[in-house]
Amino acid sequence: MSKNGRLRILAVAATASLTLAGCAQGGNEEPAEGGAATNDSAAAAPDAPTDAVLPAGDGTGECEDGVSIAYIGTIAGQNAALGVAILNGVRLAVEEHNEANAGCQVTLKEFDTEGSPDRASGVVTQAINDDSILGVVGLPFSGESDAAGQSFHEAGLVTISPSATDPALSQNGWDTFFRGLGNDAQQGPAAATFIGEDLGAESVCVVNDDSSYGIGLAREVREALGDAVVCTEEVKTNQREFSAVVGTIEASGPDAVFYAGYYTEAAPFAQQLFARGLQTTLVAPDGVRDDQFVQNAVGAAEGVYLTCPCVPADGFGDFFDAFTELAGTEPSTYSAEGYDATTVLLRALDEGLSTREEVLEYVRDYDAPGLTKHFKWDEDGELTDTPVWVYQVEDGEIVRDREIG
Amino acid sequence: MIGNLPTVLAQGGVDWISFDIGRLVDQFWYNTVNGLAYGSIYSLVAVGYTLVYGVLKLINFAHSEVFIVGAFGAYFTFQFLGYESGGIAQAPLVETIVNLILALAVAMICSGLVALTLERVAYRPLRRKKAPRLVFLITAVGASFAIQQAIMLWRNPNPELAIQLIAPRPLFEVFGVSVTNIQLTVFLAALVLLLIADSFINRTRLGRGIRAVAQDPDTATLMGVNKERVIMLTFIIGGLLAGAAALFYIMQIPQGVVYNGGFLLGIKAFTAAVLGGIGNLRGALLGGFLLGVFENYGQSLLGGQWRDVVAFVVLIVILMFRPTGILGESLGKARV
């Protein structure tokens, strides 16, 4: 056979193999999911409490010129959608406050950590060195919060995290750390109860990524599920090929899979998990609760349950409308929590407080309702009132399902 | 000895590592099939590292970005053809194939162009000035980061919303493991491309030129081989294959179109090239498949968190016994 002949055969083979792929395309089955629960019982979204303290306050705030608060967290980094949803809540709060309070104009300074613990320390130092900053909303992720907490503690700069859920964060003796939501010691057991009782799953695989958030949450869920855990796996940040992990899960044939991590990895994971027709129910936490997950999982997100210590914002009419107008999207995960956290700081500034010490003291003694819950912290910086909700992906939308804790 | 390890470790109270031999055995064929499908991407990318190394003795770290640009090229072709993100396209069969081939062409051209530009802009000026080898290496790392960050600024750090042309669907079973249409396509197409590349290097006049320069650049020049042209050609071939790999990659993993999506994959492909014997095209091919498979075996044996460790441990172990890689010899010496 001549050289050319051989090359030609290779070319034909190449075309043939592409054809094969096409042939197999025929039937296009959506990955089916067997879930015991249905969404008929979707609980109503809570209304805004009538006595909720809002950023605008009573419009009589007085403060020195040039005071500012900061948002520190991911803006353009990995899993940025989670950060931006919070940031828009913060922006809205500051805007509403400044409009209503002519006597107190607060500047919002935004710092981008790219969500990475490595970058967070540098950015945080920058913020600490800016004396005009009296309070911080952030940091959104547990890993970066862990890396930055000590610096804030030493600088005496108060932080209210609208979304970091690693329980260990409040156990470091940082008197500047306040958490504006329930932690994973609440979310984990609530998710486990939901999986075991509401979904009726008797066998569960728990998968986590290598972030401190994923590891911590998976531990809580495993402990709460006890013997129902039939397999555990860990994946890596930025991993996109999960065949080995999926193989392990398939071999265990669990009724449900819990994935503790963020949406970047969760989307391809979900797709590959259901690609071979595995019948199971996927449950994932707040780090996955974003439209990015729904869209990138290419159909596999349908029916997935998402737990979250965030309260559905549908019922907060005024907030919902104002947010949608400002951000161009509906409020997402932790938008309302970010708004509430900002409100607490703004109230402090309206009092005319002008040092970090005074603001810290004010937050420590704070005791008032916000949109999402009542804000009163214990000495560790944890809230006492911590609702956890579960959502479900339906027709490509994340809709609320029920309150689970 | 490995068989005793679990007990030994358990007695020693070690809980950070466990050996699940049963799982390794149960999942053996499953892991082999999946490892080969994914390893074919490593192979295609590894060829780029190996050819450039063979000719220039340069580890072109920017090759991972050559790869990811191809992925963007294929992605935008899909978009241009009117595919929508977030679902699985429902186009008729023939149209899908034509579109895939079109995307393949665009991806290959994009990657080829980036590889060529890289050579012209980054490496050729250094060669003119007879810069030491270390400078090339640092330039390669710098170029890698520059391209990566440029893509991040242009797009954003989130992955592009997934576009999938073909739904993965089991076709048939081998050793009780279902093989999907995508895996089979990717594996066969990659194999064919690798064979074409191999016969190009070993059987054509241009390929002989590449081998000649790899073996002895000065003598080759004296014998009338245009060295600059050979270098250009080497980068283009590597780029074309990386572009093809990029399309196959996003067929398997549609969420992979992101600025840093090539980084780890590039390092793994480089590992594959060293594993097989850097500078040796067949070594790259073998190394890619082996790495894909071993990565999966390792995960079953040790757990998913050891994924990246396994790849490099395999590399170290093989280099201990065969310092030049499995197939050893360089491009020039492989076949005269």
Q: Which of B87, B192, B195 lies nearest to residue A298, judging by beta carbons?
A: B87
Give, in order, the Cα–Cα distances in Å from A143 to each of A261, A288, B123. 12, 16, 39
Residue A189's CB is within 10 A of a number of other CB atoms, namely: 18
Q: Which of A6, A8, A17 to mutate to test the interface with B (most CBs of B within 10 A)?
A: A17
The reported pLDDT for the residue numbered B10 is: 47
* Interface contact flag, B162 A298, Cβ < 8 Å: yes
Q: Which residue in chain B is spatially nearest to A8 when comparing CA positions?
A: B196
Residue with tokens 């999506």: B261
pLDDT for A66-98, tens place per residue?
A: 899 999 999 987 788 889 999 999 999 999 999
* Interface contact flag, A80 B31, Cβ < 8 Å: no
pLDDT for B322-333, tens place per residue?
A: 888 888 765 555
Is-contact A384 A376, C-beta < 8 A? yes
Residues of chain B contacting residue A277, judged by C-beta atoms under 8 Å apart: 170
The reported pLDDT for the residue numbered A8 is: 53
Distance (Å) from the C-alpha of residue A126 to the closest C-alpha of chain B?
23
pLDDT for B97-145, tens place per residue?
A: 999 999 999 999 999 999 999 999 999 999 999 999 899 999 999 999 9
Give, in order, the Cα–Cα distances in Å from B73 to each of A232, B233, B283. 37, 21, 28
Q: Which of B97, B261, B304 lies nearest to residue A244, judging by beta carbons?
A: B304
**pLDDT exceeds cutoff 70 at A1:** no
Q: What is the mean pLDDT of chain B?
A: 88
pLDDT-derived band at B15 (thresholds 50, 70, 90) equals low
The reported pLDDT for the residue numbered B14 is: 53
Distance (Å) from the C-alpha of residue B188 to the closest C-alpha of chain A?
6
For residues A230-245, give the mean pLDDT: 91
Where are the alpha helices (H) located in A39-115, listed in sequence order?
Answer: 80-100
Distance (Å) from the C-alpha of residue B184 to the closest C-alpha of chain A?
8
Q: Which residue in chain B is spatially nearest to A2 when comparing CA positions?
A: B203
* Interface contact flag, B255 A268, Cβ < 8 Å: yes
Q: What is the pTM (predicted TM-score) of this model?
A: 0.85
pLDDT-derived band at A193 (thresholds 50, 70, 90) equals very high
Amino acid, single-letter form, for residue A56: A
Give, in order, the Cα–Cα distances in Å from A352 to each of A178, A239, A346, A347. 21, 49, 10, 9
The reported pLDDT for the residue numbered B333 is: 55
CA dihedral A46, A49, A50, A53 (to 10 degrees): -140
The reported pLDDT for the residue numbered A298 is: 85
* Interface contact flag, B252 A275, Cβ < 8 Å: no
Amino acid, single-letter form, for residue A297: A
Judge residue A242's burial from the number of C-beta atoms within 10 Å of its C-beta, 0-12 exposed, 13-18 middle, 19 or more buried.
Answer: buried
**Residue-range domains of chain A with CATH:** 68-182+312-386 (3.40.50.2300), 185-308 (3.40.50.2300)
Q: Which residue in chain B is spatially nearest to A115 when comparing CA positions?
A: B157
Share of chain B above pLDDT 70, in %: 93
Residue with tokens 């030493």: A154
Residues of chain B contacting residue A275, judged by C-beta atoms under 8 Å apart: 168, 180
Residues of chain B contacting residue A78, judged by C-beta atoms under 8 Å apart: 157
pLDDT for B266-288, tens place per residue?
A: 999 999 999 998 888 889 999 99
Q: What is the mean pLDDT of chain A?
A: 87
For residues B172-178, give the mean pLDDT: 86
Residue B106's CB is within 10 A of a number of other CB atoms, namely: 21
Residues of chain A contacting residue B252, judged by C-beta atoms under 8 Å apart: 241
Q: Which residue has the higher pLDDT, B197 or B91?
A: B197
Sequence spans of domains, chain B: 43-262
* Interface contact flag, B26 A251, Cβ < 8 Å: yes
Strands A305-308 and A389-394: antiparallel
Residues of chain B contacting residue A233, judged by C-beta atoms under 8 Å apart: 303-304
Sorted by sequence, the CB contacts under 8 Å of residue A68 that are 6+ apart come out as: A106, A107, A108, A109, A130, A132, A133, A134
Residues of chain B contacting residue A77, judged by C-beta atoms under 8 Å apart: 157
* Interface contact flag, B184 A233, Cβ < 8 Å: no
pLDDT for A257-275, tens place per residue?
A: 999 999 999 999 999 999 8
The reported pLDDT for the residue numbered B1 is: 44
Q: Which residue has the higher pLDDT, B178 or B237?
A: B237
* SS3 category, A289: coil
**pLDDT exceeds cutoff 80 at B251:** yes
Among A264, A298, A329, CA closest to B157? A264
Q: How far apart are CA A262 and CA A214, in angstroms?
A: 8
**pLDDT exceeds cutoff 90 at A178:** yes
* SS3 category, B198: helix
The reported pLDDT for the residue numbered A365 is: 93
Angle (nearest 5°) at CA B102 between B121 and B107:
25
pLDDT-derived band at B241 (thresholds 50, 70, 90) equals very high
The reported pLDDT for the residue numbered A32 is: 39
**pLDDT exceeds cutoff 50 at A34:** no
Q: Which residue in chain B is spatially nearest to A296 when comparing CA positions?
A: B162
**pLDDT exceeds cutoff 90 at A303:** yes
Say what the ipTM of the complex is: 0.87
Q: How far apart are CA B201 and CA B195, in angstroms?
A: 10
The reported pLDDT for the residue numbered B86 is: 73
Q: How far apart are CA A289 and CA A134, in angstroms?
A: 31
Residue A222's CB is within 10 A of a number of other CB atoms, namely: 19
* Interface contact flag, B27 A248, Cβ < 8 Å: yes
pLDDT for A331-369, tens place per residue?
A: 998 999 999 999 999 999 999 998 999 999 999 999 999
* Interface contact flag, A23 B189, Cβ < 8 Å: no
For residues B42-61, give the mean pLDDT: 92
* SS3 category, A179: strand
Residues of chain B contacting residue A288, judged by C-beta atoms under 8 Å apart: none
The reported pLDDT for the residue numbered A29 is: 36
Residues of chain B contacting residue A206, judged by C-beta atoms under 8 Å apart: none
**pLDDT exceeds cutoff 50 at B336:** no
* Interface contact flag, A244 B31, Cβ < 8 Å: yes
Q: Which of A28, A243, A296 lies nearest to residue B161, judging by beta carbons?
A: A296
Is-contact B260 B148, C-beta < 8 A? yes
Share of chain B above pLDDT 90, in %: 56
Q: Which residue in chain B is spatially nearest to A24 when comparing CA positions?
A: B181
Q: How far apart are CA B81 and CA B96, in angstroms?
A: 10
Q: Which of A77, A234, A298 lies nearest to residue B164, judging by beta carbons?
A: A298
The reported pLDDT for the residue numbered B4 is: 52
Is-contact B113 A325, C-beta < 8 A? no
For residues A35-40, give the mean pLDDT: 40
Share of chain A above pLDDT 90, in %: 68
pLDDT for A130-166, tens place per residue?
A: 999 999 998 999 999 999 999 999 999 999 999 999 9
> What does the block give as tokens for A60?
């009589």
The reported pLDDT for the residue numbered A92 is: 95
The reported pLDDT for the residue numbered A123 is: 94
For residues A31-46, give the mean pLDDT: 53
**pLDDT exceeds cutoff 60 at A4:** no
